[in-house]
Structure 1
Amino acid sequence: MVQLMTRGQVHRALAAVVMLALVPAISCTTQEDAARSEQNDSAIRPSTRLRFKTVRSILEDSKGNYWFGSWNEGVARFDGDRLTYFTVEVGLSHNQVRSIHEDRNGVVWFEGGVGISGFDGKKIITPTNRDYTSRDDWRLSPGDLWFKEDGLSRPTEIEAQPGVYRYDGEAFTYLAYPVPQGTAHATTGIARGKSGRVWFATYEAVFGYDGQSFTVIDDESIGLNESTGRLHVRTVFEDSRGRLWIGNNGIGVILHDGHTATQFTQEKGLGFLGPHGGRTVPQPGDVTDGSPTLHRVFSIGEDRAGNIWFGTVESGAWRYDGRSLRNYTAKDGLTSKDILGIYTDRHGDLWLTGNGVFKFNGTSFDRIH
């Protein structure tokens, strides 16, 4: 049985990276197994680092364990004392773990680059109760979990249409987006809003579902075209004030207040020519001298003080306090130029992930891995 720790014990253990231990094989999935393994010196190699090269997602579960999802090396659980690794070799659906969730029964679920898998406290499990016959039966409940389609970048043959899975604690029901069949939407992010609305990001559009109807945000609805740059959405986030932030790989951040959309990145003079959806002609105020920009945004989150954080590719992270933007980079302890995940844990502490794991101390970042 995993022993629960106090907040201070967990945080001291996480901050003291020298205490982390690697488990090269995932034969240990319970505390009893781990204890037996510790008797065999060959089963454990002490290490000061989580062995993942790139971390994409984090979850602190209800037991106080921290889960780290990697770019392509599986998932790891840190119980305050040691790390345990899970990969496709023991049933994980895919070694890329894009997001991690816990259901009301304490099962931890992993959204893989391909498929969905979970951890029931003892072993990796694969969901078998799937419903593909109710594609238009959209519903919304507070305890629902949502997952992207099973395909790496498009629906599988059995899914047929772009959409998402709704897990109600019993079954995974596949639901189709309200778009014409054959439209090439692929899910890139999912976020639940303040009022319970769920937002689904795809490259071409963002869909919001409130339990009754859909809000669709696409190029046409917010006036984007070739000259302004088009949507290429990589993340979506609704903050505590109900504002919707859309992060793009190309035209940066768009802020939607429920009525109008503002090209936030461009208004702040932090745009540039993006590889996807970027403008073909620089505009006045664009940063073109190699300075950090806000045009490739892959993660968005909010800290306990209500500041909005943006994770970019190549330019570290940016914090917006409602008035001004500040860029955090290596000089602030954030040694990863690419920030792929932003997570606020159960205690309100802010974590950033990319080529490392970083925790904000209120002024700068401490590298945990």
Structure 2
Amino acid sequence: MPIILPFLLVSCKGASSSNDSTSSTKESTFGQITSDFDYKAMLIFQDKQENYWFGGNEKGLYKYDGEKLMRFTKEDGLCSHAIIGIQEDHLGNVYFDTPEGVSKFDGHRFTTLTVIENDSSKHQWKLTSTDLWFRMGWSKKGPYRYDGKHLYYLEFPPPKLAETFYAKHPTPSYSPYGIYSMYKDRNGHLWFGTSSLGLCRFDGSTLQWLYEEHLSLTPEGGEFGIRAIIEDQEGYFWFSNNRYRYKISPTTSNRTTLDYQRENEILPNDKATIYYMSIVEDNNGALWMATYDDGVWCKQHDQLTHYPIKRSKKTPLIFSIYQDKQGKLWLTTHDSGIYCYNGKQFEPFYF
């Protein structure tokens, strides 16, 4: 079974098929000023106005402008508290991806994007620089593409590996296509990390797959899935763990699989492989890998440094690592609040 961290799932109106671009137009009250921050806030995002947004908890969505902390809930028009992604468009609108729908915040109110979901829309794969992509949970067979007007549900073309998976699991309790991560590389190509079928890359015309067992399965036998994707400054790709780095062929072929080469990477002395939930590259080219329960590992050149994270006697369960516009590193956790890097270690952040 894939590791799926629990979120509060709540119903959401307006996610049905329609030609309207939005629904649920309740005016936002701009939330409520609060000092009660939820320790389960697992996502962080800094918008163009340099506001910080924290989501992925049971109490709602938080916005921090450097002075006051505000909380938004469904009472303010938010679709769901179960936020699994935050992003911003070129106009400054902020979007919140949830298993129940996508909420858009335009600075004045929340609206819920309406999904166009039919047989023809499932195959309308396109790629433009202003499109936004969403997951809306882990049970689907593909992503959602938003072109600024409509939110289209798409389906992945099935790889050969899917036949093997369904032969082994005729009635699975989850979708092997479930998207755990999305990433746009330096060429504008879009990558999807799935729960059991590896990676799928869309270059605007072709969808191609890459699968290696160690990327999705841990040595203990658990299905980790593709949790994180990044292309470093040298053009190498990193997927889920640090055992190898990958050079992807720029040539698009008619094959359904990607052409690539892999190179060995350095490993810590006491571990075979580091599996990470999230990864970022800082302004100096160092890679920061956030594990679920083993702190953070930093790779700079040929040196690998471990940063254990402790809160009292407890080891926080890390969900993501994020670099803001000022280059500051942040950690979000499943149970221990927010941390930031002070140049030597990660320390708790208090509002």
TM norm structure 2: 0.73
Query: What's 2:60 paired with?
Result: 74
Query: What's 1:347 paired with?
Result: 326
Q: Supply the AA of the counterpart residue of 1:102.
A: E
Query: What's 1:290 paired with?
Result: none
* Selected match of 2:111 from 104, 107, 125: 125
Query: What's 1:90 paired with?
Result: 76
Report the CA distance between 1:336 and its aligned residue. Answer: 5.4
Unaligned runs of 5+ in 1: 1-26, 35-42, 156-161, 272-285, 287-292
* Selected match of 1:212 from 189, 192, 205: 205
Does the residue aligned with 1:257 lie in a helix, a strand or coil? strand
Does the residue aligned with 1:135 lie in a helix, a strand or coil? helix
- The 8 Å contact of residues 39 and 338 in structure 2, kept in 1 or not, is answered as no
Report the CA distance between 1:108 and its aligned residue. Answer: 0.6
- The 8 Å contact of residues 72 and 97 in structure 1, kept in 2 or not, is answered as no
Query: What's 1:261 paired with?
Result: 262
Query: What's 2:189 paired with?
Result: 197
The 5-angstrom pairing of residues 223-238 of structure 1 reads 232-238=225-231
The 5-angstrom pairing of residues 1-369 of structure 1 reads 29-30=29-30, 47=35, 51-128=37-114, 130-132=116-118, 133-148=120-135, 150=136, 152-155=137-140, 162-179=141-158, 184-204=176-196, 205-219=198-212, 232-247=225-240, 254-258=244-248, 259-262=260-263, 264=265, 267-269=267-269, 271=271, 286=272, 294-295=274-275, 297-330=276-309, 337-354=316-333, 355-369=336-350
Larger RCO (CA under 8 A, 6+ residues apart)? 2
Superposed CA RMSD in Å reads: 3.2
Q: Residue by residue, what CA displacement relative to the aligned partner does 1:155-213 show, whole Å, maximum 9, x if unpaired?
A: 2xxxxxx0001112221121211216876310101111111111111112111111122
Does the residue aligned with 2:38 lie in a helix, a strand or coil? coil
**Counterparts of 1:80 and 1:226, CA distance in 2:** 40
- The 8 Å contact of residues 216 and 226 in structure 2, kept in 1 or not, is answered as no
CA shift in 2, pair 1:338/1:228, >3 Å: closer
**Counterparts of 1:339 and 1:226, CA distance in 2:** 18
CA shift in 2, pair 1:128/1:307, >3 Å: same
Q: Supply the AA of the counterpart residue of 1:165.
A: Y
Does the residue aligned with 2:158 lie in a helix, a strand or coil? coil
CA shift in 2, pair 1:225/1:235, >3 Å: closer
**Counterparts of 1:336 and 1:169, CA distance in 2:** 42
- The 8 Å contact of residues 359 and 366 in structure 1, kept in 2 or not, is answered as yes
- The 8 Å contact of residues 71 and 97 in structure 1, kept in 2 or not, is answered as yes
Number of aligned residue pairs:
295
CA shift in 2, pair 1:164/1:188, >3 Å: same
**Counterparts of 1:74 and 1:226, CA distance in 2:** 33
Does the residue aligned with 1:207 lie in a helix, a strand or coil? strand
Query: What's 1:40 paired with?
Result: none
**Counterparts of 2:184 and 2:131, CA distance in 1:** 10
Query: What's 1:276 paired with?
Result: none
- The 8 Å contact of residues 61 and 73 in structure 2, kept in 1 or not, is answered as yes
- The 8 Å contact of residues 193 and 242 in structure 1, kept in 2 or not, is answered as no
TM norm structure 1: 0.70
Report the CA distance between 1:298 and its aligned residue. Answer: 0.9
CA shift in 2, pair 1:213/1:89, >3 Å: same
Does the residue aligned with 2:154 lie in a helix, a strand or coil? strand
- The 8 Å contact of residues 56 and 353 in structure 1, kept in 2 or not, is answered as yes
Report the CA distance between 1:128 and its aligned residue. Answer: 2.2
Unaligned runs of 5+ in 2: 1-26, 167-174, 249-259
Q: Residue by residue, what CA displacement relative to the aligned partner does 1:126-177 show, whole Å, maximum 9, x if unpaired?
A: 01263543222211112221111x3x4302xxxxxx0001112221121211
**Counterparts of 1:164 and 1:83, CA distance in 2:** 32
**Counterparts of 1:225 and 1:113, CA distance in 2:** 25
CA shift in 2, pair 1:234/1:254, >3 Å: farther
Q: Percent identity?
A: 30
